[in-house]
Structure 1
């Protein structure tokens, strides 16, 4: 398990903020499944609003072009590149969060397993430890189920992105972007 706790900012949630809020994820975040799922839901808003984000990015680059501040490439290409960068950054953060929480819960399960062994012949202590272990297993399964949800959310967002950005492909030089691209195709 990674001892580094992920810090997630609001830049990935719906729209960038001038004062991003940093969320300090701790083991208590992982152990409270409702808090964990709410955090995941917040970070999935970017995927849920992919078309809106593409519309806004396109309008932003069109305005820049009108003011003579055009960047490299056409408006659609720039908008697609910006949204793609936001998507993969968000996907990476969510993956980091899930991996961190799986590690936290796995460590708690190991501790519960040791407490069963330490209980020895004390039936009451063993029952209590097994109940705690079962609760941790349920928690771990709920957190791991988020990986399946992640796959569905990413596939849906990727399909929406591809329908709007038909000719976009991430640059060959961006290894992380290529990795996400190839895993989504």
Structure 2
């Protein structure tokens, strides 16, 4: 019987993997809408597990304090700060990914528009160029819709976070965290 069992259930979400996978996003990732949406889905798993993440992180800080390995202070506050940093990093990566793909597809649409103009009077070439342009516009719109989905996911996560971490506020020195916090706090 093997001594090391696979991580199943919520433990797999909480614990970092031993072999983290680096995903290199290229323009082909942006053009493959299914692959792009799958990647976004993977990134959103952190948001989907917010309550479990807060519970587990609080338990970890409580265990550290009990064993004398943790810093003194409010355990709930430390857990909230830790989870908030994870969300900020994840949201920033997702924002960067969506913006990159929007730019790639904007450029592709412009290229298809130029090829439509270059088709001249050739009806067959114009039909082909219009079809390619339409396909690129559909992909671009699907990727742009992810910006709206992102806002919904982040707002839901922020609301759940605020419900659990009522007294938490990121320090003023952390400008990126403050920017995210202030944008949601004012809504």
| TM-score (normalised: structure 1) | 0.91
Number of the residue aligned with 2:144: 144
Whether 1:88 aligns to 2:79 is: no
Number of the residue aligned with 2:118: 118
For 1:72 and 1:81, the matched residues in 2 are separated by: 14
- For these two proteins, the number of residue pairs brought into alignment is 173
For 2:32 and 2:42, the matched residues in 1 are separated by: 16
- Ranges of 4+ aligned residues in structure 1 off by more than 6 Å: none
- Residue by residue over 1:19-65, the C-alpha shift from the partner in whole angstroms, topping out at 9 and shown as x without a partner, is 21100101111001011011101100000000000011001100110
For 2:147 and 2:138, the matched residues in 1 are separated by: 15
- Residue by residue over 1:126-182, the C-alpha shift from the partner in whole angstroms, topping out at 9 and shown as x without a partner, is 111011001111101000000000011001000110011000000000000000001
Q: Which has the larger radius of gyration?
A: 2
Unaligned 5+ segments in structure 1 are 1-12
Post-superposition offset of 1:18: 2.4
CA contact (8 A) 1:72 1:78 kept: no
Number of the residue aligned with 1:43: 43
CA contact (8 A) 1:119 1:125 kept: yes
CA contact (8 A) 1:155 1:184 kept: yes
CA contact (8 A) 2:43 2:90 kept: yes
For 1:166 and 1:84, the matched residues in 2 are separated by: 13
For 1:43 and 1:149, the matched residues in 2 are separated by: 13
Unaligned 5+ segments in structure 2 are 1-11
- SS in structure 2 opposite 1:44? helix
Post-superposition offset of 1:72: 5.1
CA contact (8 A) 2:46 2:87 kept: yes
Number of the residue aligned with 2:165: 165
For 2:71 and 2:86, the matched residues in 1 are separated by: 18
CA contact (8 A) 1:76 1:165 kept: yes
